[in-house]
Structure 1
Amino acid sequence: MRKNILSSPYLLLSIGVLSVAISSIFIKWATAPASVLAMYRLLLTVLFLLPFKPWSIINKQTNLNKKDFLHLFFSSLFLALHFLFWMESLRHTSVASSMIILSLSPVFTTIGLFFFFKARTTIAKVMSLVIAILGSLIIAWGDIGLSHEALYGDFLSLLGCIAYAVHLLFGQLLVQKISGQSYSFVVFLISGILLFIYNIIFKVELISYSLTNWLIFILLAFFSTILGHMLFNICLKHLDASVVSMATIGEPILAIFLAFLLLGEEITLLQITGSLITVIGIGLFFKPQKSKRSKIDY
C-alpha cells in the first residue's frame, strides 16, 4: 500500500499542494521579515534532511558538468527570489490576491518551455492561459481601488511567480541527471545561504524573535517545504514543469478558504470574479500527462 502511494506522482503532487497552501497562513501569522522567514524555512529544511544523509546520494552523481552546476546555482537563486518576493507580498496584499497571481506560474513556465525546450503547445492551451491572465488583471484592477499598497503586493507576487517558473525550468534540466532528494537538498541549502548573505548585507535581525515566530519557521520548513516543494521537485522527474506548476490551481482555493476561516480576510466581488476566471483558465490548461513511467525514483 505504502509503495503504491509513493509511486504515484499525481498523489505526491496533491500532498504538495495541500502542504504549500497553508504556508500563506503561517506567513500572515509571523512578524519576522520575509527574508528571515524564507531563510529559516530553507535552512531548517536542510537540517531536517541531514539524518537521511542526502550527500551520500549526491556523491554518486558523476554526470554533472560545469554547466549543470551553473544551472543548479541559478535554480537556487530564483527559488530564493521566489520566496523573498512572494512572502513580502503577503505583507501588503491579501492572501486571495497574492495566491491567485502566484498561480500564474504555468503561463511563464509554458513560455519558457516553448522558447528554451522547444516544447509544443496548442491554441487551446494558449487561450486558456489568456483567460487566466485576464482573471489576474481583474484582481489587480480591484486592488487599485483598495490601495496602492495592495497593488504593490500584487506586483511582488507577480515577481515571485516569474521567479518560481524560472526555478522550475532549471529544475526540469537538472532532475534528469540528479535524484529529486539530491536536487532539493542542494537547492534549499544554496538558497538558504543566499538569503543569509542578503540578511547580513542589509543588517536584518536573525535571532531575537518570539517563540511563535520560531514555531512558524519550523512549520514552514516541515509542512510547506519538505511536504511541499520537495515533493514538487521529485515530481519534476516524471511530469513536465508546466504540469507541476499547474498544481498551483489548488493552492489559491485552499489558501483563500483558510484565510477566510483563520484570518477573517474578506473577499471582494472583483477578487471573487478574477479568481474564478483565473482558476477556470488554469483548469482548462491542465490535463494529466500520460507517461510510460509509472513509478518514482528516489
Structure 2
Amino acid sequence: MAGVAVAVVAVSTSAILVDLSDAPSLVKACYRVLFMTGLVAPFAVRERDQFATISGSDWLLVTASGALLAGHFAAWFASIEYTSIAASTTLVQTQPAFVAVGAWLLLDERVTSRVAGGILVAISGSVLLSAGDFLGGTTVGSNPSLGNGLAVLGAASAAGYVLAGRSVRQRLSLGPYVLVVYGVCAATLFAAALALGLPLANYPAHEWGLFVAMAVGPGLLGHTVVNWALKYVESSIVSVSLLGEPVGSALLALAIFGEVPGEFTILGGAVILLGIAVTATDRAS
C-alpha cells in the first residue's frame, strides 16, 4: 500500500505541472512520454529476452495500447487549457466506468447491478459538473464545455489503453511492457506534433525542467508504480485509491494558482467519485 500512496501523491501533481508549462499541450505530452520511455528503458533491457516471445497478436495489442495512451495524454493535456484543474482531473477519472462498459462489450465480462448503478451515478455527476456552464454557476476556464469534453475523451482513451493491454500484461513483465507501450505512445505523439507543425525545440530551461518533472513524478512514480502495484494489491483497491488524484490536484491548484472550483464542479465531482467508488469496489464486495 505504500507504493499506491506514493503513486496517488505523484499523479496528483500531473495537472499542476501541465498547467505550469507554456508549451503547446501536445508538445508537453510528447516530452513527458519520451522521458518516461528513457527512464524505464534500463529496467526493460534486463529482461530483453522477453521481446522475442511476444506474438504477432500481442504486438498488435501493445501497439493499440500505446496509441490509445497517446490519445489519452493529448486529449487530457488539452483539456486543462480550457477547464478547471478540478473538473479536468475528476472527469478523466471516469475511466473505470468506461473500462467496465468496454469489458462487457469486448471481453464478455458480466456487469453486475452494482457496477451499472455506479456507472449511472458517475454519468449523472458528469452532467452535474458541466451544468454550471449552462445554468449560470461559477465556472473556471476559457471554454469549460470543450475542456470537460476533452477530459472525458481522455478517460475513454485511457480505458481503451487498459483494455488493450490487460491480457498482454499477464504474459509480459512490467519493464518490457511499459517500454513498448511508452515507445509507441511517444512515436504517435511526435508524429501528430510534426504533422501539426508544432515547435519541438528552443524551449527555455524551465520548460525542459517541467517536461522531466512530468516524466519522473506522475509518470515514473505515478502510473508506472501503479502498474507495478497491480501485481501485489487488488485492482479494486488501487482504483479507489486513485480517486484521491482529483482531490490532491484541486488542493494544489487552490494553493498554487488560487483556483477555487465552482459549486457545480465540487458537487458534480463528489457524485462522480461516489459512482466510481461504487463501480471499482464491486469485486471487493
TM-score for both structures, normalised by structure 1: 0.87
C-alpha separation between the residues in 1 aligned to 2:193 and 2:258? Answer: 31
Task: Give the drift of 1:58.
Answer: 3.2
Partner of 2:124: 134
C-alpha distance 173-251 of structure 1, shift in aligned 2 (>3 A): same
Partner of 1:4: none
**Unaligned 5+ runs, structure 2:** none
Q: 2:76, 2:151 within 8 Å by CA — same for their partners in 1?
A: yes
Q: Which amino acid in 2 is paired with 1:66? A: G
Task: Give the drift of 1:47.
Answer: 1.9
Are 2:18 and 1:24 aligned? Answer: no
> Among 47, 57, 60, which residue is 1:70 paired with?
60
Are 2:212 and 1:218 aligned? Answer: yes
Task: Give the drift of 1:118.
Answer: 2.3
Task: Give the drift of 1:232.
Answer: 2.5
Q: 1:109, 1:242 within 8 Å by CA — same for their partners in 2?
A: no
Q: How does 1:34-53 map to 2 (within 5 A)?
A: 34-50=25-41, 52-53=42-43
Q: 2:43, 2:175 within 8 Å by CA — same for their partners in 1?
A: no
Task: Give the drift of 1:289.
Answer: 5.5
Q: 1:140, 1:151 within 8 Å by CA — same for their partners in 2?
A: yes
C-alpha separation between the residues in 2 aligned to 1:288 and 1:186? Answer: 31
Task: Give the drift of 1:244.
Answer: 4.9
4+ aligned runs moved over 6 Å, structure 1: 239-243
Are 2:80 and 1:86 aligned? Answer: no
Q: Which amino acid in 2 is paired with 1:190? A: V
Q: Which amino acid in 2 is paired with 1:41? A: R
Task: Give the drift of 1:63.
Answer: 3.6
Q: Which amino acid in 2 is paired with 1:175? A: R
Deviations 1:232-275 (A, max 9, x none): 22344566777655444111111111111111101111111111
C-alpha distance 237-67 of structure 1, shift in aligned 2 (>3 A): farther
C-alpha separation between the residues in 2 aligned to 1:106 and 1:246? Answer: 10
> Among 13, 17, 25, which residue is 2:4 paired with?
13
C-alpha separation between the residues in 2 aligned to 1:17 and 1:170? Answer: 23
Once the two structures are aligned, what percentage of the paired residues are identical?
Answer: 27
C-alpha distance 70-177 of structure 1, shift in aligned 2 (>3 A): same
Are 2:260 and 1:266 aligned? Answer: yes
C-alpha separation between the residues in 2 aligned to 1:163 and 1:243? Answer: 22
C-alpha separation between the residues in 1 aligned to 2:54 and 2:250? Answer: 41
Task: Give the drift of 1:65.
Answer: 1.1
**Unaligned 5+ runs, structure 1:** 1-9, 291-298
TM-score for both structures, normalised by structure 2: 0.91
C-alpha separation between the residues in 2 aligned to 1:272 and 1:182? Answer: 40
C-alpha separation between the residues in 2 aligned to 1:127 and 1:267? Answer: 27
Q: Which amino acid in 1 is paired with 2:162? A: L
Q: Secondary structure at the match of 2:170?
A: coil
C-alpha distance 171-92 of structure 1, shift in aligned 2 (>3 A): same
Q: 1:72, 1:187 within 8 Å by CA — same for their partners in 2?
A: yes
Partner of 2:184: 190
C-alpha distance 225-73 of structure 1, shift in aligned 2 (>3 A): same
Q: Which amino acid in 2 is paired with 1:49? A: V
C-alpha separation between the residues in 2 aligned to 1:191 and 1:243? Answer: 27
Are 2:92 and 1:125 aligned? Answer: no
Q: 2:121, 2:272 within 8 Å by CA — same for their partners in 1?
A: yes
Q: 2:97, 2:279 within 8 Å by CA — same for their partners in 1?
A: no
Q: Secondary structure at the match of 2:183?
A: helix
Deviations 1:57-111 (A, max 9, x none): 1323444211100001100000001000000000000001111111111110011
C-alpha distance 67-174 of structure 1, shift in aligned 2 (>3 A): same
C-alpha separation between the residues in 2 aligned to 1:12 and 1:181? Answer: 17
Q: Secondary structure at the match of 2:54?
A: coil
C-alpha distance 200-82 of structure 1, shift in aligned 2 (>3 A): same
C-alpha separation between the residues in 2 aligned to 1:226 and 1:148? Answer: 31
Q: 1:106, 1:242 within 8 Å by CA — same for their partners in 2?
A: no
